[in-house]
Each structure stands twice: as structure tokens, then as C-alpha cells.
């Protein structure tokens, strides 16, 4: 079972928890072709008519006409940057239940239209004993969509088949981080294996196993006695390397009084981890039977991704307050979340992929990744772009 990342942000190191589940270029935390024309010879060719398969079309309209009265979303963690597009769907004055760690309210589109359906967001991570959302969904048929990664989709394909219908992020934000003062010559994950520091990570973490299998990391350097707490990293004076979230830790650690220094990091995606880590998945049965609902709902989520990226601050203020309510020991300053969004855009974590469409999947990329990890299910059985609005771009 893959244990998903979590991120718990507080000022004090004691008790702080932050778990996470191109070119190998180091990433550093920030401080707070023209066409040419040439003449070409004529080429004889034979014109052949090709008929492309028609794409199913969906008409927009009230969600209440085609969707359940309550649309329940199971996320993988406490509210964090990658969940911003979902929290932006909540209208004014949502209801928050600190005991069950659920927030709900009428669904509001990015244009301000309030729908006659309720969106309910359930926290993951510690709220569900760190089970991955597909496992939670398999035991609770009231969940409409669950957040999951491509490897989790592939792992569950035989026992509880689900399909990804939209992705909140385009590139994985899983990373390994280190102290640049201690390791000034490390600029990539490949360098880490050559240097040989102890690398702390979550137990059974998919991307770590992948990097070992690909020969990027040495298993002798790994220590899985880690659940996201920064205390050991700080106490080591920077000698440790640890797993993290590129949308969180690069801004968190410089803000900690006990550290107060930059960290460097490299994304797992730079070494071949091409999983979509923030897919929203539905059961295969729902995808077959509720196509009209998904045809209206998925574009609403796509538009919310764009709206959140453009103006994240109001949503980040909500998420920060919800995090603190769900766990009074945690703190995620809205300004820190704002920095995470800006970095996510700059690094392509929030983006449109090869086709430029926000929320769409590169099915060939999924197929190649699943083949690499030894999955038995075809990529186009794990994800679909059937419900994605091709006009929604960043």
C-alpha cells in the first residue's frame, strides 16, 4: 500500500509533521523561436480521407439536473496547495466539522454561480489513518471522487477499478531536499547517490521505490523511519536528506526559527517519476453510469484550477483556518501557501501539459509510466479525457 504524503505546518520544530508522498536541475527555494522560411521542392502525395472518431459532447447546465445532491471529495491529506482548486469550489460561509474533519457548502463556480448541489471535502492523511483515498473510497460508496496518484490507480486496478477524470496538477511535487551549505556540489538526485547521505522517507513510498529500481538512489542510503517531522533534519545540522513536498518545504524551512536557512531540492519528476499525483478518480461504474454529471462537473473543476492559480489568496486563507481547526497544533500561514502556488506555476506543477489543456491527461505518458512500474492495466483504462473541456487553458 502506498502511504500518501501529508503536510502539517507549525512554527515550532517539536511536533511538526510534514509528510509527502526534464533535466536533473537543482531547485532552490526563493527568498520571500522564430520561424524561418525556406523554399522547398514540390512533393507528390496522395490525399487520403481519414475519419476521426467523434468526441462525445456534453451540454452545460445546472449540476443538480445530472449529479448527486452531494458531491463528496476525499483528498489525500490535510488542506494544502494542491487542494486549492477544490476548496475554491466552496461558496461563502461553508460548514466545517472539526471532529470529522469535513468542510462542505453549496458548490460555487469560478464565475460566482452557486449551484443547487453540496460539495463536501473530507480531509485525508491523519484523518483517515494515512490510508490512501482509493482504499477509503472502496469502503465508502458515498465518496464521489477521490484524489489518487497513477501508481495507486494501477495498484488498485484489479481489486477496485477506478478511472482518473481530471488532474489538479501536471507534474508531481514529490521531492528530496538537502542543505546546500552541507552539500554544495549536489545539484540532482543522481548526485545524492554519489554523495551517499542518509535519506529519510515515508515507509512504502512509491516514488522512493521507483528511484531505487531505476538506479537513481542506493537502497543502502535509505531510512524509512520517518513520518514527516523536521526535527531530525534540523538536529542533524543538515547532514540528512529527506523526502518533502515542493509546494511546502522550500518555504516552510526558511521560516522555521530553528532552521532559518534555504534548502535545495530536486523533483522526483526530473528522474522519471511521471505519475499524476493529484488525479481525481471515480469508480469505473460511476464513469459509465454518470457521464452526464462528469461532463458538467469536470469542466467546473478545470475552471476552478485556473481561478485558484490566478488568485489563490482568498482560498489559501480558508485552507489555513481549516487546517488549524482540524489540528490545533498545525499552522499553515496563507502567505506560505501563496508562495507554494507561485512556485507551482513557475515549475510547471500547475500547468496544462503538452496539449495546453488544464486538467487533462497525457495518456501516452500514463501508459509509459504504468509499463515502467510493471502495471498490468493499459493507461487508457486508468485515465480518460472524455469529460475534459479542451478550451480550458492557463
Strands (E), the chain: 27-28, 70-74, 95-97, 102-108, 114-122, 145-148, 162-167, 174-178, 199-200, 222-223, 241-245, 264-267, 279-283
Which range has the worst mean pLDDT, 23-32, 69-78, 97-106, 141-150?
Answer: 23-32
**At residue 281, does pLDDT exceed 60?**
yes
How confident is the model at residue 25, as a pLDDT?
52
Q: Is residue 224 part of a domain?
A: yes
pTM of the model: 0.86
Does residue 151 sit in the same domain as residue 205? no
How confident is the model at residue 188, as a pLDDT?
94
Coil, strand or helix: which one is 102?
strand
Q: Is residue 390 part of a domain?
A: no
Q: Is residue 41 part of a domain?
A: no
pLDDT tens column, 335-392: 999 999 999 999 999 999 889 999 999 999 999 999 999 876 777 889 999 999 999 9
Instruction: Give the pLDDT band (50/70/90) at residue 11.
Output: very low
Domain that holds residue 237: 173-271
User: Which of 117, 106, 118 is closest to 63 using CA atoms?
Assistant: 117
Does residue 262 sit in the same domain as residue 298? no
> First-to-last CA distance in the chain?
34
How confident is the model at residue 368, as a pLDDT?
94
Alpha carbons 345 and 312: distance in angstroms, whole number: 12
Backbone angles phi, psi at 68, to 5 degrees: -60, 155
Does residue 187 sit in the same domain as residue 210? yes
**At residue 35, does pLDDT exceed 70?**
no
DSSP conformation class of 221: G
Do 75 and 121 form a contact (C-beta atoms < 8 A)? yes
Does residue 184 sit in the same domain as residue 323? no
What mean pLDDT is reported for the chain? 87
Of 254, 271, 288, the residue at which a domain comes to its end is: 271
Does residue 280 sit in the same domain as residue 375? yes
Does residue 67 sit in the same domain as residue 155? yes
Alpha carbons 134 and 382: distance in angstroms, whole number: 13
Alpha carbons 274 and 233: distance in angstroms, whole number: 27
Of 215, 237, 271, the residue at which a domain comes to its end is: 271
CATH of the domain at 83: 3.40.190.10
Does residue 181 sit in the same domain as residue 250? yes
Beginning with the edge strand found earlier in the chain, give each strand of the sheet holding 114-122 in spatial order: 95-97, 102-108, 114-122, 70-74, 145-148, 279-283, 162-167
Instruction: Give the pLDDT band (50/70/90) at residue 26.
Output: low
Regarding predicted confidence, which is higher, 383 or 16? Answer: 383
Q: Is residue 5 part of a domain?
A: no
How many domains is the chain partitioned into structurally? 2
User: Phi-psi region for residue 206, left (φ > 0), alpha (ψ -120 to 50) or beta?
Assistant: alpha
Does residue 164 sit in the same domain as residue 284? yes
pLDDT tens column, 96-118: 999 999 999 999 999 999 999 99
User: Which of 93, 105, 142, 170 is closest to 286 using CA atoms?
Assistant: 142
Does residue 343 sit in the same domain as residue 367? yes
**At residue 328, does pLDDT exceed 90?**
no
pLDDT tens column, 251-277: 999 999 999 999 999 999 999 999 999
Backbone angles phi, psi at 193, to 5 degrees: -65, -35
How confident is the model at residue 376, as a pLDDT?
66
Does residue 255 sit in the same domain as residue 337? no
**What are the grid coordinates assigned to 280, written together?**
481525481
DSSP conformation class of 113: P
Q: Is residue 2 part of a domain?
A: no
Looking at the chain, the number of H-run helices and the number of E-run strands are 13, 13
Q: Is residue 122 part of a domain?
A: yes
Do 203 and 224 form a contact (C-beta atoms < 8 A)? yes
Q: Is residue 24 part of a domain?
A: no
Does residue 162 sit in the same domain as residue 181? no
Of 241, 271, 301, the residue at which a domain comes to its end is: 271
**At residue 28, does pLDDT exceed 70?**
no
Q: Is residue 289 part of a domain?
A: yes
Does residue 281 sit in the same domain as residue 371? yes
Instruction: Give the pLDDT band (50/70/90) at residue 55.
Output: confident
Amino acid at each position: 500500500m502506498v502511504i500518501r504524503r501529508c503536510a502539517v505546518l507549525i512554527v515550532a520544530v517539536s511536533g511538526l509533521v510534514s509528510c509527502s508522498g526534464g533535466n536533473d536541475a537543482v531547485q532552490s527555494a526563493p527568498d520571500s523561436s522564430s520561424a524561418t522560411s525556406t523554399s522547398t521542392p514540390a512533393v507528390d502525395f496522395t490525399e487520403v480521407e481519414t475519419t476521426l472518431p467523434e468526441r462525445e459532447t456534453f451540454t452545460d447546465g445546472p449540476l443538480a439536473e445530472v449529479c448527486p445532491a452531494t458531491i463528496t471529495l476525499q483528498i489525500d491529506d490535510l488542506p494544502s496547495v494542491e487542494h486549492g482548486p477544490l476548496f475554491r469550489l466552496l461558496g461563502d460561509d461553508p460548514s466545517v466539522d472539526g471532529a470529522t474533519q469535513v468542510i462542505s457548502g453549496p458548490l460555487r463556480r469560478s464565475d460566482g454561480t452557486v449551484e443547487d448541489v453540496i460539495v463536501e471535502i473530507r480531509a485525508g492523511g491523519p484523518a483517515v489513518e494515512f490510508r490512501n483515498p482509493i482504499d477509503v473510497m472502496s469502503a465508502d460508496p458515498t465518496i464521489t471522487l477521490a484524489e489518487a496518484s497513477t501508481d495507486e490507480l494501477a495498484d488498485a486496478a484489479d481489486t477496485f477499478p477506478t478511472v482518473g477524470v481530471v488532474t489538479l496538477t501536471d507534474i508531481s511535487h514529490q521531492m528530496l531536499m538537502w542543505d546546500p551549505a552541507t552539500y554544495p556540489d549536489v545539484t540532482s538526485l543522481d548526485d545524492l547517490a554519489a554523495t551517499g547521505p542518509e535519506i529519510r522517507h515515508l515507509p512504502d513510498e512509491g516514488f522512493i521505490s521507483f528511484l531505487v529500481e531505476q538506479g537513481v538512489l542506493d537502497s543502502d542510503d535509505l531510512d524509512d523511519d520517518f513520518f514527516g517531522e523536521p526535527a531530525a533534519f534540523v538536529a542533524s545540522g543538515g547532514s540528512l536528506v529527506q523526502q518533502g513536498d515542493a509546494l511546502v518545504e522550500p518555504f516552510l524551512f526558511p521560516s522555521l526559527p530553528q532552521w532559518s536557512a534555504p534548502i535545495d531540492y530536486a523533483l522526483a519528476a526530473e528522474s522519471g517519476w511521471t505519475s499524476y499525483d493529484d488525479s481525481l478518480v471515480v469508480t469505473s461504474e460511476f464513469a459509465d453510469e454518470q457521464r452526464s454529471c462528469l461532463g458538467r462537473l469536470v469542466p467546473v473543476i478545470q475552471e476552478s484550477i485556473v481561478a485558484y492559480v490566478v488568485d489563490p489568496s482568498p482560498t489559501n486563507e480558508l485552507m489555513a483556518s481549516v487546517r488549524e481547526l482540524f489540528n490545533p497544533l498545525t499552522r499553515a500561514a496563507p502567505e506560505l501557501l501563496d508562495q507554494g502556488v507561485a512556485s507551482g506555476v513557475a515549475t510547471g506543477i500547475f500547468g496544462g501539459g503538452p496539449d495546453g489543456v488544464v486538467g487533462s491527461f497525457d495518456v501516452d505518458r500514463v501508459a509509459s509510466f504504468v509499463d515502467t512500474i510493471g502495471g498490468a492495466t493499459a493507461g487508457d483504462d486508468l485515465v480518460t479525457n472524455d469529460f475534459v473541456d479542451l478550451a480550458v487553458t492557463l
